[in-house]
Amino acid sequence: MAEVVFDEASRIYTPGATPAVDKLSLTVNDGELVVLVGPSGSGKSTALRMLAGLEPIDAGHLRIDGRDVVDVASKDRDIAMVFQSYALYPSKTVRDNMAFPLKMRGMDKAEQAKRVNEAAEILGLTEYLDRKPKALSGGQRQRVAMGRAIVREPRVFLMDEPLSNLDAKMRVQTRAQIAGLQNRLDVTTVYVTHDQVEAMTMGDRVAVLRDGKLQQYATPSELYDRPVNAFVAGFIGSPAMNLMDLQRSGDGVTLGGSTLPLTREVADAAGSADTVTVGLRPEDLSLTSEGDGIKAVVDVVEELGSESYLYAHMAEHPDTTLVVRGPGRTRVRYGETIAVRVDPDAVHAFDASSGERLAS
């Protein structure tokens, strides 16, 4: 039970160079699951390790329940971490792995056994308690790593890409398990991933980082509906949002020979700029009948069963490419020309130079 506050916390590896984490400020509420997401090198793992006490905090503050932990040793912060590699102790059995943090805290044997058994029960590990990690599957090892964290009953859980060593199916299963477990235990959790799908599905709130700087900290739906800049817009959503630099023409922008209207606020915010970065999600584009719509030539068809994604380029501007969501079992084939309709309410617009969102 804890609230975690990053207050302009920075990590600077070499003085003068770009900080790995640059004045990060965000608050994780009690019981909340917050996901730090970003491409590699965005500082998300460093931020987590700062909270874990494995990296020093070079500037700013980091508070857990109001207490500044900048100078508090890792073991005294009352936090538990699940590592990407699981970091299980190979010479110890599952039972001893899970009991290790309790033993280190001098807890009496009976209480240790009770907690380990409870955790094993929750995680379905009871029958594996006497095995060594190398006799377990990847998913089981992952659960042991979870178990070692939950026996502690820590104030904060930290998870560093805990699913990245699992195969696709296990990942989806375990994703749901972790989210369920977190709900049930109601422990404040900070979760790091580079996978935006994990971030969207698991996080109560998601912090998008890039080059050590926080880009946007919001609920998944807000990130999706109102990305604050072109980077977040392109990062969140799969397939990624179509981002195009388009010429202004009157009240709108020119796209494939037709004009895409912009709202009054966007047009005002764009001011006198010649171009605007327009973002269109594949799901906000639809196929329409011949005649109206933007003409595009299909390069690749990805058939997913319930839906399909058409990768296409503009008939008149081959350099401009688009991803369009089509119906399942589409009859569109490679090389065909399609007509694409844009939902005018779903147009995202960003400043072409700064990438910042224009108006609403």
Partner 1 sequence: MAITTERGSTTTSSAPVDDGPRRTSRTGPVLLTTLTWILGIGFFFPVLWMVLTAFKTEGDAQSSPPTFVFTPTFEQFRTVFDAGIGPYLANSLGATVISTLLVLLLAIPAAFALSMRPVEKTQDVLFFFISTKMLPVVAAIVPIYVVVNDIGLLDNIWTLIVLYTAMNLPIAVWMMRSFFLEVPSELLEAATMDGASLARTLREVVLPIISPGIFATGLICVIFSWNEFFFAVNLTSANAGTMPTFLVQFVTSQGLYFAQLSAAATLAALPVIIAGWVAQNKLVQGLSFGAVK
Shortest spacing between CB 273 and partner 1, in angstroms = 48
Nearest CA among 174, 156, 147, 126 for reference residue 64: 156
The answer to the question of residue 52 lying near partner 1 (CB under 8 A) is: yes
The answer to the question of residue 125 lying near partner 1 (CB under 8 A) is: no
Shortest spacing between CB 139 and partner 1, in angstroms = 12
Whose structure tokens read 């009770």?
114
Cα(51)–Cα(266) distance, integer angstroms: 39
Please name the helix (run of DSSP H) or strand (run of DSSP E) that holds residue 311, with its range, or none. strand 307-314
The answer to the question of residue 107 lying near partner 1 (CB under 8 A) is: no
**Residue 183 contacts residue 200 (beta carbons within 8 Å):** no
Which of 1, 13, 56, 104 lies at the binding interface for partner 1 (CB under 8 A)? 104
The answer to the question of residue 88 lying near partner 1 (CB under 8 A) is: yes
The answer to the question of residue 259 lying near partner 1 (CB under 8 A) is: no
Cα(40)–Cα(205) distance, integer angstroms: 20
- Residue 11, both tokens: 């990590």
Count of residues interacting with partner 1 (CB under 8 A): 29
Q: At what angle do helices 94-104 and 109-123 cross, to 10 degrees?
A: 130
Which of 13, 68, 75, 238 lies at the binding interface for partner 1 (CB under 8 A)? 75
The answer to the question of residue 260 lying near partner 1 (CB under 8 A) is: no
192-251 positions binding partner 1, by CB under 8 A: none
Shortest spacing between CB 105 and partner 1, in angstroms = 6
Assign residue 31 a region (left: φ > 0; alpha: ψ between -120 and 50; beta: otherwise).
Answer: left
Which of 8, 18, 68, 105 lies at the binding interface for partner 1 (CB under 8 A)? 105
Which of 38, 133, 212, 279 lies at the binding interface for partner 1 (CB under 8 A)? 133
The answer to the question of residue 134 lying near partner 1 (CB under 8 A) is: yes
Cα(2)–Cα(4) distance, integer angstroms: 6
The answer to the question of residue 138 lying near partner 1 (CB under 8 A) is: yes
Nearest CA among 103, 98, 159, 154 for reference residue 131: 98
- 59-64 sheet: strands from edge to edge: 21-28, 4-11, 59-64, 67-68
Cα(33)–Cα(205) distance, integer angstroms: 7
The answer to the question of residue 311 lying near partner 1 (CB under 8 A) is: no
The answer to the question of residue 275 lying near partner 1 (CB under 8 A) is: no
The answer to the question of residue 83 lying near partner 1 (CB under 8 A) is: yes
The answer to the question of residue 54 lying near partner 1 (CB under 8 A) is: yes
The answer to the question of residue 93 lying near partner 1 (CB under 8 A) is: no
Cα(200)–Cα(80) distance, integer angstroms: 23
C-beta closer to partner 1: residue 132 or 341: 132
C-beta closer to partner 1: residue 67 or 103: 103
Whole-angstrom CA distances from 334 to 49, 141, 239 are 47, 44, 19
C-beta closer to partner 1: residue 191 or 224: 191
C-beta closer to partner 1: residue 45 or 229: 45
Which of 6, 37, 60, 86 lies at the binding interface for partner 1 (CB under 8 A)? 86
Shortest spacing between CB 160 and partner 1, in angstroms = 9
239 upstream amide cis, omega within 30 of 0? yes
Note the residues at the interface with partner 1 (CB under 8 A).
52-54, 74-75, 79-81, 83-92, 100-101, 104-105, 132-135, 138, 148, 165
